[in-house]
Chain A
């Protein structure tokens, strides 16, 4: 019914746009840019599954280095200027809406908070929060006594963070209050809206530092991107191209460098050569048929549910437990981040629908180690839920009838503080295959998750602190939103040892030397910050490592 007024050939959800030697020019309504195309039978250097923060970045960097790259995404290739409406319900087309089963003691809510389906992946709908890891987290076990150590050095990552921040022209504060010195953010911070000022006032009342959030949306013109107009529909897709998603940054660069992006292409299985055990290409479904693309290397970048799902679905006689699963860890150690919040009502009009949802942040509890009865950290940010999302949050309180309508009428007086909180790795939290099949005939993912004791302590601490802070900022009738998570990581973790990890520091799988994983699945711990900047930094590093290995003939 949605498509009644669009010609089928125009519909990016029905007909691939990345074909016929051209790709959509996302900056020109109806425009195209030339795109190199490879034959399925041509053995390309890299077949990349997924074009989000991991796959899109890697496709760009590898193509710019001269490798032949074909990247696949099951999602559509949107033209934001034309395809995106200012309507939350319609824009749910950006989220993964194929079935997944959620169980465990705390079954996850997927969709808007963690699962996109687009060329550009979840960066098309993400809230643009672009934060660096606290350096100590890369040695969480050694320095902070929890979790595991990453096989990466923070100083090396610091350089890659800078590269990504420059590539996306992150708009951030002139001075960042936490962590070691970093280069100045390329663009200046955005103005605070009233909701963000509430966070700032509350933070000052509690005696902690706060900052305007570093965001991947521009505060001044950048190339074809206009500055943000503060329309507030960010997590429903940016229709002005101010948001520097992978769709408008890495992907166009990748295409210009000679990569091919295939939209509406679901990779269902990675083929391995029976004799050598190496991967030989990917089976993908596009325009009604299954096809096979030969490749010298396959990179899986489908994010923390689809990546293990694909690896498990690619089991063979040689790899009976799934590809790259010699450690048995594929799918295990699923981590989300806790996303609890406090909300309250102010006498003043706040009208939090104006501007990106999280214009102010404090990372105080990521860097303070005293005053905590838990391991790990959390940041918290101001909020700005649009009506459909907000009504869902109030429904989560069990409100209905007149009570709900009256609460909703206070819409323009709400303020909130929401955490991105660290969750510890636990092997019992995992992605496995369910018996149900999806529309491609592939087993759907079962996502099992339960909080641990440390996770609950962190949440309690955060809710208590934020409540005080929000009340100090003048809010009344403050209540806790206790049931929300965000992001997905850990299900193909990196490490130094093949027995306790799936990939090495270069994102190369231990078991299959030409199989790589490059997305949030590789995180051994998740930290207390949004993962997108770290995923892109890892992708930039992986590209450099691949170039070095290729030069030495070790690819």
Chain B
């Protein structure tokens, strides 16, 4: 649950005119995603989960969005972006190289697996990758800064914000068909939109959000 939008859950609208049948099908599938990897090996997946936890830290107040599993599913389906920067290999290959390289760097720096490092050590390693400061040998010719900017970061972040829990967190209206929106002006919300908690009036927002539907 979000502090900004206390008690707001887009899933509460699942049975309302805001959701159509196809949307229910699609979101149900997303929520039922298997957590075990089918593209990555076990070790790669452990590294990926640890990377996701640092790139996209999640609130402890709710079950975590299974970002790693979502990326695994995307790579297994082979549903690409429809283009590729020529300096990067295709996405599945890029991810494998990247995760191995991150694992190798963790060993080189700390003599341990990436997922066994302290959060601060993990962050430092990831920052170095973003800055392009990691030794190229482990990256098999792939530019680590480019991989970070074009694959690692966007894939993790867009997976997270493609999940209903994240929509509730940021107060997004969520699915909207056939029912869209009436009030489009500043500081106006329809009763089926998220209510933002104003300082000192958090209970009002929570009460409004309980009625969203």
Q: Do chains A and B touch in the complex (CB under 8 A)?
A: yes
A interface residues with partner B (beta carbon < 8 Å): 1-2, 4-6, 82-90, 92, 95-103, 107-111, 115, 191-194, 197, 228-233, 239-240, 346, 348-351, 353-355, 386-388, 390-392, 394-396, 398, 400-402, 404-405, 408-409, 411-412, 446-447
Closest to A348 in B: B186
Query: Is the beta-carbon distance between A392 and B154 smaller than 8 angstroms?
Result: yes
The B contact surface, by secondary structure, is loop
Per-residue A-contact encoding for B39-75, CB less than 8 Å = 1, 0 else: 0000000000000001111000000000000000100
Q: Which of B29, B54, B82, B182 is A99 in contact with, Cβ under 8 Å?
A: B82
Instruction: Report the bound CA distance from A111 to B80 in whole Å.
Output: 10
Q: Which of A82, A111, A409 is B82 in contact with, Cβ under 8 Å?
A: A111
Chain A CB within 10 Å, residue with most, of B22, B153, B154, B194: B22
Instruction: Report the bound CA distance from A5 to B22 in whole Å.
Output: 10
Per-residue A-contact encoding for B87-119, CB less than 8 Å = 1, 0 else: 100100000000000000000000000000000
Known: A87-B27, A392-B154. A101 touches B84 (CB 8 A): yes
Query: Is the beta-carbon distance between B157 and A107 smaller than 8 angstroms?
Result: no
Known: A95-B82, A103-B86. A409 touches B170 (CB 8 A): yes
Q: Which residues of A contact B20 (CB under 8 A)?
A: 85-86, 239
Q: Which residues of A contact B79 (CB under 8 A)?
A: 92, 97
- Taking the closest CB of chain A, its distance from the CB of B124, in whole angstroms, is 12
Q: Which residues of B contact A408 (CB under 8 A)?
A: 161, 166, 169-170
B178 within 8 A of A: yes
Q: Which residues of A contact B18 (CB under 8 A)?
A: 86
Instruction: Report the bound CA distance from A446 to B187 in whole Å.
Output: 47
Known: A229-B176, A229-B179, A231-B181. A391 touches B149 (CB 8 A): no
- Taking the closest CB of chain B, its distance from the CB of A200, in whole angstroms, is 12
Closest to A242 in B: B180
Q: Which of B156, B173, B178 is A354 in contact with, Cβ under 8 Å?
A: B173
Q: Which residues of B contact A102 (CB under 8 A)?
A: 83-86
Q: Which of B23, B57, B149, B183 is A87 in contact with, Cβ under 8 Å?
A: B23
Q: Which of A88, A191, A192, A240 is B177 in contact with, Cβ under 8 Å?
A: A240
Instruction: Report the bound CA distance from A349 to B181 in whole Å.
Output: 15
Q: Which of A6, A101, A110, A391 is B158 in contact with, Cβ under 8 Å?
A: A391
Q: Which residues of A contact B27 (CB under 8 A)?
A: 85, 87
Query: Is the beta-carbon distance between B186 and A194 smaller than 8 angstroms?
Result: yes
Interface positions, chain B 143-196, Cβ under 8 Å from A, are: 149, 153-154, 156-158, 160-162, 166-167, 169-189, 193-194, 196
Closest to A91 in B: B26
